[in-house]
Amino acid sequence: MIPLLRSLLYSIVFYGGTFAMSLAGTVVLPFRPQWLLAFARAWAHLGIWSARVFCGVRVLVIGSENLHPQPVLIASRHQSAFDTMVWFTLLPNVTYVMKQELLRIPLMGRLMAAAGMIAVDRDGGARTIRTLVKDGKRAAAAGRSIVIFPEGTRAEPGALLPLQPGVAALASATGLPVVPVLTDSGMLWGRKSFVKHAGTIHVVICPPLMPGLERGKLMDELRHQLETEIHIKIPTVDKAVNQ
């Protein structure tokens, strides 16, 4: 089956399922808002499952031993929509830092806010940092891990954009270990491409940067980890988890 047709089938199943889940979540919201995180996990599993079944996209997670049982701050490269799903399937209680514009999506935007996602205005300057810190501290106090994309937006494979200050502010405010994460999702799941190609997406979880690092050192260490070529981090034999 040609990639275009496979991708079309993926879109029908995934977006149809997203719409159905959004309707169900809207009905549930007034009565059981605590169920919305379970809806988010189901949505993410649907996205990754349908990509595997229809497009032949598999996921290989390397370095899962670097995830602590307690909450962490995931600082991940961001290349495709895949990255906005995968952490719902890898961590039991997670919140994403996301751009405020996503709250405008009909039905789903309201549910994302109610599920505790952290929405920020990327052009808000100091006000954005204050909001990020306040909501991040609330999420950490509730025992939730936080996923942030330090580049602030999706980047092409092989290109590391300048790191934004929000990750350092969150690390300082929450005291969470910072876990750098590499991915090559953009090689198969292009950020502006409808077609998804068969193959394996690697998610490489690096050793955590422990709390208490001075801001400049934290950013230098994080940049060093994130700019590492992903193939260097993929061992020939590893304890990866294959989804």
Q: Determine contact, residues 104/112, Cβ cutoff 8 Å.
A: no
Q: Would you list the domain boundaries of the chain?
A: 57-242
Confidence of residue 242 (pLDDT cuts 50, 70, 90): very low
- 31-57 mean pLDDT: 95
Is the pTM for the entire model greater than 0.75?
yes
CATH superfamily of 57-242: Glycerol-3-phosphate (1)-acyltransferase (3.40.1130.10)
Query: Apex CA 225: angle with CA 222 and CA 230, to 5°?
Result: 145
pLDDT digits (tens, 9 = 90+) for 197-218: 999 999 999 999 988 899 999 9
Q: Tell me the average pLDDT of the chain.
A: 92
DSSP H helices, the chain, are: 3-28, 36-55, 86-90, 108-114, 126-141, 166-174, 215-226, 230-233
CA distance 152 to 139: 20
Let me know: does 132 contact 46? Beta carbons within 8 Å. Answer: no
